[in-house]
Amino acid sequence: MNQDEKLFFRFDVLKFVAIIMVIFIHIVCRKLYEIENGISYEWIVSNVIDSFCRSCVPIFVMVSGFFLLGKDEEITFFFKKRFLKIIPKFLIYSVIFYLFTIIFQSNNFKSALFFKKSFYVNFVKQLLNGKIYYHLWYVYMIISIYLVTPILRKIILWDKEKKFKNTKYLIFIWGFFWIFIPFLDTFLKLNTNAYNQIGQYIGYFLLGYLIGNKKIEIFKNKKVNMILFFIFNFLIIYFTYIFSKKDSKLFDHFYNYHSIFVFVVSVMLFEFIINFEVKKKPKNKNLKLKKFVKAVSTATFDIYLMHPIFVYFCENYFKNKMGYGKYIAVSFFIVFLGAFFVSLIFYYVKKLLERSIKWQ
């Protein structure tokens, strides 16, 4: 592989790792709220897994920043390309999860029949309020970032001559209001809401571009990087445990994607994988693994949108029938492979439809 192919494959690895993290979080997250009767072994296991997987969303956003901020496209072309890629899928999955909720999770199935006006009114209301299903918040967030991407592109293009000083300043302001102030709030109880006014994920978006293009290097020593990665993950585990035990309910601030610890480990992991070098020549087994990683990377959006259905069925049919560790392992493989298989079906159906349209 040439240098560009190596770099792009590293981004495939990042997306592959991030979607695995998402699946693990959603498998274990419900157990973390079961704390009224004290800290259990299952809760501790869930806390460790959840803590180590919190880099997932920041990584996805940083990957998007790398690929989108360096391009110079007409605004209409950009929006057409991006929104045609995500909006149709988003609407399809919104309908799927709306029906899924009514059929499997609602007691009002009879009152929500298709021919009733309330069925459609409720769907539109939930769609506009972002309440169709818990994981779809990510799509709303990505759309909001896309809306400001043309502006951020102009800032970066203008800022190149100034060695990205203004871009770094924007990241600093974002980090101060969204990372540092909430951290102080947690320990000092300042109760300030000033940070609510600043764009939530813009900093990760900009960092993805700067780190990916080697415009900044935050953690230069790889060994120190990895040591600190485990230390900061341990801090997430430890503080979540201490505060949750004290309150007898889940204290999830340190899971937040803007927690100072999650911020640090996300940047560390992103930078480590981007700069990772393999000196040995790839073997045939490694080539097959690379193809699999690339295939999963291409399908991450569909896997993300589909996987909660498999999580739901695993939770309802396996959780109380085996040990917790085994349940997590079995559920992960079912959810991951099931969602990946469905994404492949959708991909080939889409290709068939595109061919049939061309033939006409």
pLDDT tens digit string along 53-81? 999 999 999 999 999 998 888 888 988 88
Domain assignment of residue 268, given as a range: 54-277
pLDDT in tens, 115-157: 577 778 888 889 888 889 999 999 999 998 998 888 888 888 8
Confidence of residue 181 (pLDDT cuts 50, 70, 90): confident
Token digits for 227? 């040591």
77 in a domain, yes or no? yes
Q: Is 288 within a domain? A: no
Q: Is 53 helix (H, G, I), strand (E, B) or coil?
A: coil
For residue 344, being part of any structural domain is answered with no
Q: pTM for this one?
A: 0.88
Average pLDDT on 84-96 reads 92
Q: What is the pLDDT of residue 194?
A: 46
Residue 285: pLDDT over 80? no
Instruction: Identify whether 148 is part of a domain.
Output: yes
DSSP code per residue over 226-266: HHHHHHHHHHHHHHHHHHHHHHTS---GGGSTTSHHHHHHH
In a domain, 339, yes or no: no
- For 212-232, what is the mean pLDDT? 86
Helical segments of the chain, H only: 3-28, 41-52, 56-69, 75-100, 117-129, 137-159, 165-175, 181-188, 202-212, 222-247, 260-274, 284-298, 300-317, 324-359
Mean pLDDT of 302-308: 96
Tell me if 62 is assigned to some domain. yes
Average pLDDT score over residue span 105-111: 61
Q: How many domains in the chain?
A: 1
Does any domain span residue 321? no
Given a cut of 80, is residue 281 above it in pLDDT?
Answer: no
Q: Which residues of 274-304 are buried (b: 16+ CB within 10 A; e: fewer)?
A: beeeeeeeeeeeeeeeeeebbebbebbbbbb
Looking at the domain assignment, is residue 300 inside a domain?
Answer: no
pLDDT value for 111: 52
